[in-house]
Structure 1
Amino acid sequence: MRKSKARLSQPAAPALHLHGRPVLRVLGTEITLLESVRKRAEADLGITLCFENLDFISAQRKAAAQPTAYDVYDQCFHNLDIVWFWRAIQSIDLKRIARWSEVSDLTKTGRIHPGAAIGHGDAPVTKLYTQPNRSLGSAPSGHISMLPAVHNLDSFAYNTEIVNGHLEPSASWGALFDDRWAGRVALVDEPAIGVFDAALAAQARGEVRFDDIGNMSTTEIDHLMGILSERKRAGYFCGFWKTALESADMMLTGQAVIQSMWSPGVSALRRRGFPVRETVPQEGYRAWHGGMCLSAHLSGRTLDIAYDYLNWWLDGWVGAVMARQGYYMSVSERVRLHLSPAEWNYWYEGEPAAQDLPGPDGETTISKGETRSGGAYRQRASRIAVWNTTMDEHNYLVRRWAELVGSAPKTSAVAASI
């Protein structure tokens, strides 16, 4: 077995071919499980990668209930509670993460700089370090629950040909509940995400007040769901989507003119020349942070291979791919080495694009002269209102959310017992 000391002085090396070509199974979502990423990692590490791409809830359920069905769980910090509770994942030894010292303060402390807002809810630092009693917390230790990787500051987007003139780029979240757009508003169908877009909108319009928007009581959840249910009965929402491409399709067909939206959906629309704009919410962004966990069953050679894969994610190349679809990485200076100056200045510095810029597939996504909504990374990351969060009353929220969207509750026996 290879010694972990070597990992501290050099980037991840290809996995050893002790018994044929190693295979690593990664469970995750569309956010990071891209075909270009799989091919490059296979070439760089000398392994075979099997990606299983599911929606957020399905991935979380499988990760908790079937830990032997995957080797690496690629998800978000707000999805950690259930998998950690069920001992489905093991802690990550920081001695085996070569570039840990380069990981951003946004992850390690909750703030991009000391004066920035930490935001309500599940800031990654609150679940980052494993504690002596095996709980998760912010007190630094030698082990972490998830390797911090991709993250972003989300808002909502709109069709500028229809909404333009009625909405400023720095609009309030309350615009999502503006009756002028009745029947053409969509939300993301994930209770630990979509509920916060709705909550920020309702709160901005004075329709509800939360003691802590990141950890609502059942009474507050009921109040919010009552507001949303009334709007749904009146035909206010045109739908609820699960993937970025679904959200893009809703815009393209004219079904939605203003909605929750993720960066890949916006990029897909821009490639089609669709008039879409992301907002810079007055109240701040809804933030999220993704990363990778190690399955509890890993040991020996397969565990070594998994560590190689985690370290590869911090080498920079894949961070550049993520940047081209609007996402940030926890090791931004490594990413910078793999972006052109024009790309870095647009995506991270908030400057006008000096030339047409490609998306992750190589097609032009950003036209010369465009400026990223919200400006530079440091500026955007300083304005976090709330993080995607699994609240104390998550199971209750899931049931109420399922009632809202008109489907059966998706809590499994795993989730329901927490």
Structure 2
Amino acid sequence: MNKHQSPAKATSAPALHLAGRPKLRVLGTAISLLEELRIRAQDDLGIEVTFDNNDFLTTQYKAAREPETYDIYDQCFHNLDIVWHWRAIQPIDTKRIALWDEINDLTKTGHIGPNPRLGLGDVPARKLYVQPNLALGDTPSRFISMLPTTHNFDSFAYRTDLVDNAVAMHSWGALFDERWAGRVALVDEPAIGIFDAALAAQAAGLMSFDDIGNMSIAEIDRLIDLLEERKKAGFFRGFWQTAEDAARLMMAGDTAVQSMWSPGIGILNSKGVPVEQAIPAEGYRAWHGGLCLSKNLSGRLLDVAYDYLNWWLSGWPGAVVARQGYYISTPQRSRQFMAPSEWDYWYEGLTAAEDLPGPDGLTRIKAGSIRSGGSYWQRANCIAVWNTTMDEHNYLVRRWMQLVGR
């Protein structure tokens, strides 16, 4: 199979066999709601697909309180608790997922290979399986809460031409290093930015946590107070919400060190900005996304939704997200839709043998580049904490909003 073939044959029977042209509404964020994916899904499945693209908090609120407004909820495992609590989504039957057995073990067990290090926080495996009492847990069952798809292992980035000591970039503590005062930025998303800050504060010896994946109110207060003190002193250049905003800060030279996602690094690479993603000794902050079914789905449209879920695992979508710097839960299916040089760079951690494109087809990675952190399997075994909705999430959100001024 070449990378231009339709992956539809790898899925269950497509929606095209149904009368008319069904319309599928997908609620999510910019992480995976790419126009390239929407158009291809329409073509391969013979349906109409609309994307409702919002920030994290808006997406989560709509998912929990307005399930009638979407058919598919495209989000991360750490956003599941609230949506599941409100019973806004329905269990997914793995018997209807054609490639369920091919999904790798990162979500099914929490780790890949012999390394038992699961990372702290919302390990996806602990929220994957629907238990007989409708609780979520890691005991395997036929039904799951979310179909595992896109994921990654994040840290922070630094401008190699502005940072005079790359050795100092081997720890999250760099985000609190006084040498970069006035040139540091954090991601503005409570359930994400708080962990970049916590890992930095702990690595810098400024505070410790009983459980960094589930902080107490006292720990949240102490950490936010620490951030507020530094913000008032001008330590932080800003707080960003999108990968594009993050890239602009670093491109302009406003920041030397900051939270960064892979698409932002790709943008900077394409512009020739000398940037590296750090490989923190403490481990990565990981996240895992997936697809959920609205509780209102049934009959014909439920069949269409399962077609869409199966399509996401079939290969071509995973190749697209790889060009963002993200991984897919069925990597070997996506390998068929990637050039050998792409697979070697994104998954094997090898030198790019040629210029590599982003999802939009434009060059994102220059020949000779090496992805930091090594192969997919090396990175997956170096997780410090997963993005998490903590027990005190509502309190955290209120304090975070005060911090960033919104």
**TM-score normalised over the length of structure 1:** 0.93
Partner Cα distance (2:403, 2:222) in 1: 13
Once the two structures are superposed, the pairs formed by residues 396-411 of structure 1 within 5 Å of their partners are 396-407=395-406
Structure-2 residue corresponding to 1:327: 326
1:151 equivalent in alignment to 2:125: no
Change (3 A) 1:304 1:169: farther
Deviation of 1:10 after TM superposition, in Å, equals 5.2
| SS of 2:51 mapped into structure 1 | strand
Once the two structures are superposed, the pairs formed by residues 236-385 of structure 1 within 5 Å of their partners are 236-385=235-384
Amino acid across the alignment from 2:157: A
Structure-2 residue corresponding to 1:91: 91
Contact 1:12 1:309 in 2 (8 A): no
What does the per-residue CA deviation read over 1:189-240, in whole Å, with 9 as the maximum and x for residues that have no partner?
A: 1111000000000000110111110011111111111111111111111111
Contact 1:116 1:383 in 2 (8 A): no
1:11 equivalent in alignment to 2:45: no
Partner Cα distance (1:88, 1:260) in 2: 32
Once the two structures are superposed, the pairs formed by residues 24-103 of structure 1 within 5 Å of their partners are 24-103=24-103
Partner Cα distance (1:342, 1:17) in 2: 37
Structure-2 residue corresponding to 1:195: 194
Structure-1 residue corresponding to 2:3: none
Amino acid across the alignment from 2:245: E
Runs of 4+ in 1 over 2 A off after TM superposition: 16-19, 167-170
1:128 equivalent in alignment to 2:128: yes
Deviation of 1:167 after TM superposition, in Å, equals 2.4
Contact 1:173 1:281 in 2 (8 A): yes
Deviation of 1:19 after TM superposition, in Å, equals 4.3
Deviation of 1:266 after TM superposition, in Å, equals 0.8
Amino acid across the alignment from 1:50: T
1:389 equivalent in alignment to 2:350: no
Change (3 A) 1:170 1:237: closer
Partner Cα distance (2:300, 2:96) in 1: 14
Deviation of 1:253 after TM superposition, in Å, equals 2.1
What does the per-residue CA deviation read over 1:35-69, in whole Å, with 9 as the maximum and x for residues that have no partner?
A: 11011110000000001111111110111111000
The count of residues paired between Structure 1 and Structure 2 equals 398
Q: For structure 2, list consecutive stretches of 5 or more residues without a partner in the other structure.
A: 1-8
Structure-2 residue corresponding to 1:104: 104
| SS of 1:329 mapped into structure 2 | coil
Deviation of 1:268 after TM superposition, in Å, equals 1.0
Amino acid across the alignment from 2:90: Q
Q: Root-mean-square deviation (CA), in Å? A: 1.2
What does the per-residue CA deviation read over 1:235-274, in whole Å, with 9 as the maximum and x for residues that have no partner?
A: 1111111111111111122222211000111111111111
Contact 2:147 2:292 in 1 (8 A): yes
What does the per-residue CA deviation read over 1:113-165, in whole Å, with 9 as the maximum and x for residues that have no partner?
A: 232410000010010001111111111001000000000000000111111x2
Q: For structure 1, list consecutive stretches of 5 or more residues without a partner in the other structure.
A: 1-8, 408-418
Contact 1:106 1:112 in 2 (8 A): yes
Partner Cα distance (2:86, 2:234) in 1: 40
| Residue range with higher mean Cα deviation, 17-26 or 34-43 | 17-26
Partner Cα distance (2:261, 2:22) in 1: 34
